[in-house]
Structure 1
Amino acid sequence: MPEQSPFDLAEGDPFGPHNLPYGVFSTADAPGRHRIGVRYGDRVLDLSALPSALPAAIHPHAELLAAPTLNPLLAAGRPVWQQIRAAVRSAVSDPAHRDEVAPLFHPLDEVTLHLPFEVADYVDFYSSEHHATNVGRIFRPNDAALPPNWKHLPIGYHGRAGTVVPTGTPVVRPQGQRKAPDEELPSFGPSLRLDIEAEVGFVVGTPSTLHEPVGLGSFRDHVFGVCLVNDWSARDIQAWEYVPLGPFLGKSFATSVSAWITPLDALDEARTPPPARDFPLLPYLDDSAAEPGGIDLRIEVRINGETVSRPPFSAMYWTAAQQLAHMTVNGASLRTGDLFASGTVSGPDPDQLGCLLELTHGKGPYLQDGDEVTLAAWAPGPDGARIGLGEVSGRVLPAV
C-alpha cells in the first residue's frame, strides 16, 4: 500500500492550512541541529529548507528561517509574519508546489520537539474572575473573595524565565518551607500540595521602546502567537511565602509550555467579546470600542489520561491585549521572546476549573509522584474547522 501523501489530511484535522503553528525540531540523524518547522497534520514541514524549494516566494526570509529558534522570526514584525504565513499556506495548498515541498516533511513521531523560542521575560497574570473568586473563598472565607483592585486592573507577577520548559520535560517535586495553620513553626521538605494551573500563553515578537506604553490597538503588532501553559504550583510553599509579597518559590521551579506557537492570525474566527465589565475602565484599559479581545479556546485537562476539567478561555475577565497594555503602561519595555500567561483558566461550572486547588475545594488530593498532566486545546476556525493548539504535558518526579 503506497504511503499517504503529506498533503492529504484526515477530515477535520485541527492542524490543516488554517492553522500552521510554528515550532522547533530536530531529527535523529542530526540531533544537534535545531530547525524551525510548521506542523501540518501529523507531519512537520522543515521551514529551513523551504527557501530552496520555493525561492521566489520565501527566499528573502531564508536567514530568519535558518535560525535554531523562533526569536529572529519573532523580531521581524507582523508584515514579515504575514508574508511567511502566506507562503507556507501556498506551499501546503497549491498542487503546483507538491513535488518541491513533499520531501521537506518529517513524520511527527520521528522528530524531537524543543522549546520553540528563547524566553526573555515571563509574566503571569490572574485574570479569571471565577478562579480568583474561588481561590479567595478558599483562602479568605471571612473576607471578600476578590481584592478591591481586581476588577480595575489585571493583577500579575514576574516569574522566572529560566525555568520555562517544553512539553514532555519531567517536573521534579520542589522542596521548600511549609507551615500548616496548626503548626507553630515552619518545616522544610518536599511540597505536599503540588498543583497545576491550566493557562494560555502569549509570545511577544516585536519589542517596544523603554518608557513608551503599548496601547490596546498595538497588540497585534507586538504579539506573535499563542501557546498552552501549565504553571505548576506548590500550594503549601506558596501559602507560607506569599504574604505580604507575591508568588516566589512556590511557582518558580517549573512552567511548561506547548511545542507549537499558533499565530494570532489563525485565531481570527475565535475572537469573542469578553464578559461584561462591572466598572468603567480607565482609558488605557477601555476596550469597549476595540475589536473583540477574548478568544474562544476550549481547554481540556487530563491527569493520567483521565479528563478532569474543560476550562473555557472565553470566560476570562481580562484579555491578553489589556494585560499587555497594563504591563507596559508604566514604561516597561517588551523584548522579543517575552512570554505572558493568562493565569489559571476557570469557568463557572464545577467541571470547568483549571487547578486542583479549586477542583478539590482546597482539600486535595494533589499531584502524586508519577502523575502525568496533559493540557490540550482547540479553537473554532473558518468553515467549521478546528484550530488545534497541541498539548503540553509533564510527569511529576520525586523530590531530589
Structure 2
Amino acid sequence: MSEQTPLDLPEGDPFGPHNLPYGVFTPAGSAERRVGVRLGAAVLDAGAAAAALGSPYVSLLARPSLGPLLAAGRTAWRDVRRALTAWVTVPAHREVLEPLFFPLSAVTLHLPFEVADYVDFYSSEHHARHLGKIFRPDGEPLTPNWKHLPIGYHGRAGTVVVSGTDVVRPRGQRKAPSDPAPVFGPSARLDIETEVAFVVGVPSALGTPVPLSAFRDHVFGLCLLNDWSARDIQGWENVPLGPFLGKSFATSLSAWVTPLEALDAARVRPPERSHDLLPYLDDTAGDAADEPAGYDLRLSVEVNGHPVAEPPFSTMYWTAAQQLAHMTVGGASLRTGDLYASGTVSGPERHQYGSLIELTWNGRDPLDLPGGRRTFLEDGDEVVLTGWAPGPDGTRVGLGEVRGRIAPAIVPAV
C-alpha cells in the first residue's frame, strides 16, 4: 500500500479540489515568499508546480504576492483555476507535484497581497438595528439613509494584518456620558466585528463607475476579516466624521483568498428590499436580476476556544456588488489589491450576533465563558473566526480562519 500524500484527501474535506484558495507562504528555513494553493492540510507551491509542468502561468504564480494574478483579470483567473484543478486531480501529475507540497504546520503564512485601499461597510440590517436600539432606545433604530445606500467609511490599509498577528490594545481618548471630561488611556471596551472582505483584482478608470453587472469582472475573491473595534474610543470620536482611532489600530485578514468561482453553489438572493432603490443599486432589474449577488456563508466565532456566535452572511441586506457600485459611482477608481469589507455580520437571533456589543447588549448581559465572564475583550483573550459555504454536490467550501490574540497596550517610556 502506497504512502498517503496531500493528494489523498479524505472524502468531504472542505479544502478539496473544489475549493483551492490562494495564499502566500514561506517554507521553514526560507525567506522566499511564494504563492500557494491550499489542499487539505497542505499547501502547494503553485509557482514551482507551474514551472515543473511547463505551464504558461508561471509568470502569474511564481511571485511573492497574489498581485500579478489579481491584476490579470477574469479570463486568467478562470484558466489558472482550471489548470490547478487538473494538476491536483489528474493522476499523471502526482509524481511531479508531491514533492512540491508543504504541511501547513511547517510554513509561515503572510498577507496574501498588498492592500491598496480599505473600505468598511455597514450592511447587516440586523446589526444596524441592534446598535440603533442600544444607542437610540427611544428612536428609530435605522438612520434615514440606511435603506437607500450602503453606508461605509475609509479605513487604514496599512494596519490590515494577517491572521495570527497579535492585536495590541489601542490607546486613545474616551468619555462616558457621565464623565465631566475625556480621559486618555487603553480602550476598556475592545470588541470584534465578524466580517467578510472582498478583494479587487482588476482596476477601473478614475471617473468611471463600476455597474452591478461588472462585479465579477473586478472582484477576484473573498476572505474572512475581523475589524477590531475600540467601542469607547470610537464612541467619543465618532461625531461628526465617523471612526478613526477606534478602528485604525488593526484589521485582521485571513491568509486564504477564496476565488469567487469556488462559491458559485453558495450564491443566493439577498433579503427582499423594503424600499425602491436608485437605478445604479437596483439588483431586481436588468442584467443584475439574473445573477444572485448574495452568498450563503456560515460563520462561527470563538472566544478563548469557546463558541459564542454563528452569524449567517446570507442575511446581509446590501451585497458586495452593490457595495462596489456605490463605492465607485462618485468617480472613485479601483486599484488592484483594494479590500472592502461587509461590516459586522449578524442575524436575528442572539446566537447569530457578530460582535460583543450585541452579544452582551453593550455590557449589560455578560457572556459566561469557561475562563470567566466577558463583556468586552481582556488582555490575553484570543478570538477565532471560521466559516464555510455550500459547495458543489453537497460539499463544503472552507473559508479558513482569522485568529487574533489581544496584547496589552504599549505605554511609552517617560
Measured against the shorter chain, the TM-score band is: over 0.9
Q: 1:104, CA displacement in angstroms?
A: 1.0
Map Cα deviations across residues 82-113 of structure 1 (whole Å, 9 max, x no partner).
11100000000011111111111111111110
Aligned positions of 1:32-51 closer than 5 A: 32-51=31-50
Q: 1:142, CA displacement in angstroms?
A: 1.8
1:221 aligns with 2:204: no
SS in 2 for 1:238: helix
Q: 1:311, CA displacement in angstroms?
A: 0.1
Mapped to 1, the partners of 2:299 and 2:64 lie a distance apart of 29
Q: 1:3, CA displacement in angstroms?
A: 3.9
Mapped to 2, the partners of 1:64 and 1:17 lie a distance apart of 20
Map Cα deviations across residues 280-304 of structure 1 (whole Å, 9 max, x no partner).
1111001112411110000000000
Indicate the percent of aligned positions where both proteins have the same amino acid. 68
> Which among 348, 366, 375 is matched to residue 385 of structure 2?
375
SS in 1 for 2:344: coil
Stretches of structure 1 that go unaligned for 5 or more consecutive residues are none
Q: 1:145: which partner in 2? A: 141
Map Cα deviations across residues 50-69 of structure 1 (whole Å, 9 max, x no partner).
122211xx2x2212211111
Q: 1:324: which partner in 2? A: 324
1:126 aligns with 2:122: yes
Q: 2:63: which partner in 1? A: 67
> Which among 243, 262, 267 is matched to residue 263 of structure 2?
267
> Which among 177, 181, 184 is matched to residue 181 of structure 1?
177
Aligned positions of 1:87-106 closer than 5 A: 87-106=83-102
Map Cα deviations across residues 372-393 of structure 1 (whole Å, 9 max, x no partner).
0000000000010000000000
Q: 1:163: which partner in 2? A: 159
Q: 2:370: which partner in 1? A: none
Q: 2:191: which partner in 1? A: 195
Aligned residue type for 2:345: V
Aligned residue type for 1:26: T
Aligned residue type for 1:53: A
1:396 aligns with 2:406: yes
Mapped to 1, the partners of 2:225 and 2:267 lie a distance apart of 20
Mapped to 1, the partners of 2:272 and 2:6 lie a distance apart of 44
Aligned residue type for 2:352: Q
Aligned residue type for 1:376: T
Q: 1:244, CA displacement in angstroms?
A: 1.1
Q: 1:2, CA displacement in angstroms?
A: 6.0
1:344 aligns with 2:338: no
SS in 2 for 1:307: strand
Q: 1:141, CA displacement in angstroms?
A: 1.3
Aligned residue type for 2:9: L
SS in 2 for 1:116: coil
Q: Does the CA contact (< 8 Å) of 1:209 and 1:333 recur in 2?
A: yes
Aligned residue type for 1:151: K
Aligned residue type for 2:45: D
Mapped to 1, the partners of 2:303 and 2:290 lie a distance apart of 38
Q: How many residues align?
A: 396
Q: Over the residues paired in the alignment, what is the CA RMSD in angstroms?
A: 0.9
1:110 aligns with 2:109: no
Aligned residue type for 2:239: V
Aligned positions of 1:244-323 closer than 5 A: 244-288=240-284, 289-323=289-323
Q: Which runs of 4+ in 1 moved over 6 A?
A: none
Q: Does the CA contact (< 8 Å) of 1:209 and 1:334 recur in 2?
A: yes
Mapped to 2, the partners of 1:290 and 1:145 lie a distance apart of 32
Aligned residue type for 1:392: V
With the length of structure 1 as denominator, give the TM-score of the two structures. Answer: 0.98
Mapped to 1, the partners of 2:16 and 2:61 lie a distance apart of 21
Q: 2:72: which partner in 1? A: 76
Mapped to 1, the partners of 2:359 and 2:290 lie a distance apart of 34
Aligned residue type for 2:298: R
SS in 1 for 2:32: strand
Aligned residue type for 2:390: P
Q: 1:140, CA displacement in angstroms?
A: 1.2
Q: 2:371: which partner in 1? A: none
Q: 2:20: which partner in 1? A: 20
SS in 2 for 1:103: helix
Mapped to 2, the partners of 1:290 and 1:230 lie a distance apart of 31
SS in 2 for 1:33: coil
Q: 1:29, CA displacement in angstroms?
A: 2.2
Map Cα deviations across residues 253-292 of structure 1 (whole Å, 9 max, x no partner).
0000001000000000000000000011111001112411
Mapped to 2, the partners of 1:111 and 1:174 lie a distance apart of 30
Mapped to 2, the partners of 1:296 and 1:122 lie a distance apart of 23
Stretches of structure 2 that go unaligned for 5 or more consecutive residues are 367-374
Mapped to 2, the partners of 1:267 and 1:172 lie a distance apart of 34
